[in-house]
Amino acid sequence: MSSSSSRAFKDAAYAHLAQVGKALSSPARQEILELLAQAPRTVEVLAGEIDQSMANTSHHLQALKRAALVRSERQGLHVVYSIAGDDVAALLVRLQSVAAHHSAGLEKLTREFFDDPQGLESLDAATLRARMDAGEVVLIDVRPRAEFEVGHLRGALSIPLTELEAHLEELPRDRAIVAYCRGPFCTFSAEAARRLRALGFDARRTDVSVHSLGESGVRP
């Protein structure tokens, strides 16, 4: 193999990698990927969830599709988008982890938003599993029920944030309640913990998600 052909190969290979990097360079596209990692969605639903116009949301989806990070399927009158594979979700989890570890600004931002004297600091995966195995905590999934049905953490109860107060009688008061949602930047779990603590429950949140635990996730 000549040096010129080797150079051409490297240039082409890194160009493909750059296309993936470019697709991930938009905050909106990263949020779209996180949502699609939970469950498939239409462009109409995604536009509402990321607070962008239909046109902008469609543009972001096409960029993600060109990078082969999402796929689409027509279902009746709608086009439904889904993540291209669990490895894409794992890539997003890894990106979030690397950024949280190396970006002082991101670490400060998340700490100031989530950690407070009310005990909303996050339980890590090892601590959560140990306390669940010991029967010390009840884990609740506060994402929309459709996301729970696609995949959830073993032993979790589905109690969407929008239905929290309607299911209080299902929650024990002699054990801690731990809420989880989509990942480290999802605010549902913190809101659930705050509401439950205001009602007298011993409540915490966790950054753990279905994809951050890999095979520990349950997919019915």
Q: Which residue numbers are catalytic?
A: 181
Amino acid at 27: P
Q: Could you give the count of Cα atoms lying within 13 Å of 199 in the half-sphere of its Cβ?
A: 18
Amino acid at 43: V
Distance from C-alpha of 10 to C-alpha of 126, rounded to nearest angstrom: 40
Distance from C-alpha of 38 to C-alpha of 211, rounded to nearest angstrom: 9
Query: Any idea of the CA torsion for 113, 118, 123, 127, to the nearest 10 degrees?
Result: 160
